[in-house]
Structure 1
Amino acid sequence: MRYQRKREEEKGQSLISKVVSIGFFGGLIWSVVASVAAYFHFTSVSPKSFILRSWLQTDWTDQWLGQLISILVVSLLSIGIAFLYYFILKKIRGIWIGIGFGVVLWFILFWLFEPIFPNIPTIFNMDSDTIVTTVCLFILYGVFIGYSISFSYQQYKDEN
């Protein structure tokens, strides 16, 4: 009895650690992809545009160090987003919920939080390349987070 309870607690901790790693690596992977897209001018915004350049207007924030720090901060913030998905949507299977999650995140960041980021142009002032690229990146991020967490949760439920 005691052994079984301890094993269930370890499985629960294992699931939580998977959510943390999914969130961190999701943020890391997709913010690196966003940085590369910004470097090749597919988009006019990058992680540093949100994280550093909106509050700091120094030279180092526009270089590789600013981009690296921004990627790390996005990766850490992504852990919270992964837990949000875990607590609200973990039981829903499929790719469509991840797509919707990514689109909702995009609207929250670019529409609702727009006044917080003075360095980012409004949606109506963005070029079409930036809108399409960022929406696609957020969709891919949402699918990555959503599908990975739902799969891990289903795997956990099937083991029990």
Structure 2
Amino acid sequence: MVEENNKLEQEHHEKPMSLLGLSVITGLFGGIFWSSIAYLAYVFKFTEIRPNVILEPWTIGDWKVGWLGTIISIIIIGMLSIGVALIYYFTLRKFNRMYIGIGYGLALFLIVFFVLNPIFPGIDPFKELSRNTIVTSICFYVLYGVFIGFSISYEESEIQKSKDSKQKEVRST
């Protein structure tokens, strides 16, 4: 009887997380991780832009430039990053190439620094930014795009391979 229970437990596998759920977690983690690294770049003077710029248009008070504002900003960026990851999931997940992630990161950079720039008073106009800030920001956006893109596309590819191998097993039996 005990042997039968153990055998049943061994045969029971947990259902893996859906790709959509994994994309949400990837977006949240990617936003929190890369904005935290970007904050360190700000601390070490590689960039003039800190994550707190996300709060400037919507909040009042000096708290937004302190540690609390930094933590809240990083969490908000993580939440917004879920949307960015979902956009990638719905549009580009089938492309399992690093270049797609690089392009996605560059597109995000262009959107933030050229389209959304007027919303954020803490980000100077593009022509007034230092070379270090521009290069650092481009690098972070590219790394972020590759992280989001490759994570989602890789899992999509693995799920497709699993489905294909199961179909081959069914056909051969």
TM-score, L = length of structure 2: 0.82
Match of 1:25 in 2: 29
Q: Pick the aligned partner of 1:74 from 60, 70, 77.
A: 77
Whole-angstrom distance in 1 between the partners of 2:122 and 2:32: 22
Deviation of 1:119 after TM superposition, in Å, equals: 2.3
Matched ranges for 1:6-21 at <5 A? 14-21=18-25
Matched ranges for 1:124-139 at <5 A? 124-139=127-142
Matched ranges for 1:31-46 at <5 A? 31-46=35-50
Match of 1:61 in 2: 64
TM-score, L = length of structure 1: 0.89
Q: Which runs of 4+ in 1 moved over 3 A?
A: 10-13, 54-57
Q: 1:115 and 2:111 equivalent?
A: no
May I ask how many residue pairs the two structures share in their alignment?
150
Whole-angstrom distance in 2 between the partners of 1:20 and 1:11: 17
Q: Point out the structure with max Rg over C-alpha.
A: 2
Note the residue ranges of structure 2 that are not aligned, 5 or more in a row: 1-13, 164-173
Letter in 2 for 1:34: A
Match of 1:7 in 2: none
Letter in 2 for 1:17: G
Q: Is the 8 A contact 2:20 2:89 kept in 1?
A: no
Note the residue ranges of structure 1 that are not aligned, 5 or more in a row: 1-9
Match of 1:152 in 2: 155
Deviation of 1:55 after TM superposition, in Å, equals: 3.6
- The 1:12/1:88 distance shift into structure 2, 3 A limit, reads farther
Whole-angstrom distance in 1 between the partners of 2:32 and 2:142: 15
Cα RMSD (Å): 1.6
Whole-angstrom distance in 2 between the partners of 1:16 and 1:31: 22
